[in-house]
Amino acid sequence: MAYFSEVAAARLRDSDALLDAAERAERADTRETFGRVLATGIGAVIGADGVSYQELDHATRCVVEVADRPMPEPTPAQCEVYWEFHEENLLDRHYTETDDVEPRRLSDVMSRRAYRRTTLYGDYFRDAGVEFQLQFPLVSGGPRVAGLALQRQSSDFSAGDVALLRAAAPRLRQAYALVTARERVAALGDALEAGAQAMAVFRLGRIVDCTPRAAAVVRDHHDTLVGWASGDDRNPLLVDGVRAVALSRHADGSANVVAFFERQRRVDRERLRALGLTRREAEVLELVASGKTNPEIAQVLFVSRRTVKKHLEQIFGKLGVRTRTAAAARALG
């Protein structure tokens, strides 16, 4: 009896730890931060060799991943193998073809022998030491899937591990929905703060949200916009007299929040000097307004990143703002 009481008490502590992780993750401003906090929390409760939050779009082959315990980085050739043979992983296939959001083990849908016979295992997962998998989806039922992925090499996940995630699932999905909504509201606020006439949010090579005034531009120039946003071109995009500027970017460099301006606006350096900025600070702010990052500004001005950071601190103080977006809005005034 004492043994079973100890097991029950341990499971209760694990459940409380997962709910605490959900509460911490819920305070995140972005889904990447949410995923990192949640992966860390789940990894502390359920032992695994690899724990990560992933967003995969099988239609565009785009991946966003943040990991608490990352697996070995795949080579470009291995990535090609994954996308070519990913349907051999019946667990991945299950989540893309159904709206099931229950946590499941790979062993729930295919035997270990069948898994080891796949090209996907032989040319991709075997080198990474991924013998056992447990997935917990937050979004499923289509080419885009988002959720937590756990991997082990030596032993499979237990039914208790699955039950633990299943019990915490409603709270975890609630936290995910809240962070997603908060991220979109912040995106709209950034666009309005920058004086944009319209705004769109890009994710995994897709436009996932846009204001009504952006709909026409998106409809008429969808492929051009997606191609520009998915690449590493940090220059504004001009289409039919409308200027698209990336106000923020994802970890992979692709555009996140894109603001649309109906007319070309230029930075008036003299006006900035009148606000108290030095010549160099005005140059830095002009580059910020054009969408360049600190490393890119340092390269353009032949100064260190630390110097750029110090200039921005001075600029924020003189303009009475706290973010790059607000400073850029003042520059474009």
For residues 157 and 251, what is the distance between their CA atoms, to the nearest angstrom? 30
- Which CATH number among 3.30.450.40, 1.20.1260.10, 3.40.50.1110, 3.10.20.30 corresponds to the domain 2-179? 3.30.450.40
Which pLDDT band, with edges at 50, 70 and 90, does 25 fall under? confident
For residues 257 and 225, what is the distance between their CA atoms, to the nearest angstrom? 12
Q: Is the pLDDT of residue 28 over 90?
A: no
Instruction: Order the strands of the 50-57 sheet from edge to edge.
Output: 62-69, 50-57, 144-152, 132-139, 104-105
Q: With CA atoms as reference, report the closest residue to 263 among 280, 245, 283, 243.
A: 243
The residue that leads in pLDDT, 129 or 203, is 129
How high is the pLDDT of residue 6? 45
Give yes or no for a contact between 236 and 290, defined as CB atoms under 8 angstroms apart: yes
114-124 residue pLDDT tens: 999 999 999 98
Q: State the average pLDDT over residues 10-18.
A: 74
Q: Classify residue 202 by burial, with Cβ atoms within 10 Å: 0-12, 13-18, 19+.
A: buried
What is the fold, at CATH topology level, of the domain defined by 185-332? Answer: Arc Repressor Mutant, subunit A (1.10.10)
44-100 residue pLDDT tens: 888 888 888 888 877 666 666 777 666 677 777 888 888 888 889 899 888 888 888
Six-digit token string for 172: 């975890």
How high is the pLDDT of residue 11? 63
For the chain, domain boundaries: 2-179, 185-332
304 CA to centre of own chain: 28
How high is the pLDDT of residue 194? 61
Q: Which residues, other chains included, contact 193 with Cβ-Cβ below 8 Å and sequence gap of 6+?
A: 325, 326, 329
- Strands 132-139 and 104-105, bridge-based pairing: antiparallel
Lowest mean pLDDT among 2-11, 46-55, 136-145: 2-11
Q: What is the pTM of this model?
A: 0.62
